[in-house]
Structure 1
Amino acid sequence: MAKTIFEEMGGTYVRQGDYFIPCLTLPAEKENKPIGVWGQRHKRYLQEHKRATYTTLLTSGKLNSYLANIDEQAEELFSRMVKQIAEREGVTEQLKAGNQLEWVQKMNSIRNRAVKIVNTELIYM
């Protein structure tokens, strides 16, 4: 019996009842960096809305490094945006020492706006 292309490439089969099913494995990734909240959000977005991109990254073994990179970029953008908006609106350590409640309100507002910017520009695109 002639070998299939899969067998010629070194693939093997497992018998399940009357059927032979190929043993498929994903390629191992070189780096296994942790993926934070931004990377998890982007992964969920890819799974739900960009299935072809998600499948391509997964089967090529580049998904984890891609998501780690997105997570790193998003975290940097978020930190930079919070800092810039706080400076522009005059939210300082003096305000924190003088009126903590007002400082918390303003910082929560700034953080929410920064989250929306990061989501729009990196996560859900």
Structure 2
Amino acid sequence: MPGIITQFSSLSVPHDPSELSPGSDPFLITAQNGYLPTHLPLRRLPAAFDALSDILDDMPILKEDGTAGLLATFKLGPLIDSGALPDLTAEIDNLVVPGTGEIDMAAITAAFRDYS
């Protein structure tokens, strides 16, 4: 019958996220988590990205300390135009799992989130 899958799929879905390598994609589907991330996202990128992280900390309309952020004070654009955000493109290649050289997908997805 058209549209009905009649063959068994050999797709292997890991059950436990702890079975995955440290650099695996945090959004890999597992039997335990389904489509949800396999672990909590990184709160902050490595120190090389501090300029970006500092801008993001200051960016909200209302910051965690209750003060007005860059969006509330219309200072985000001028801050970026002033060169406060360096070109960190080369640092992306350094986001690897320590001791393995394997790409750290959790860090890569955090960088994508932060730049988005």
Fold equivalence (TM over 0.5): no
Q: TM-score, normalised by structure 2?
A: 0.29
Q: TM-score, normalised by structure 1?
A: 0.27
Of Structure 1 and Structure 2, which has the larger fraction of its residues in helix? 1
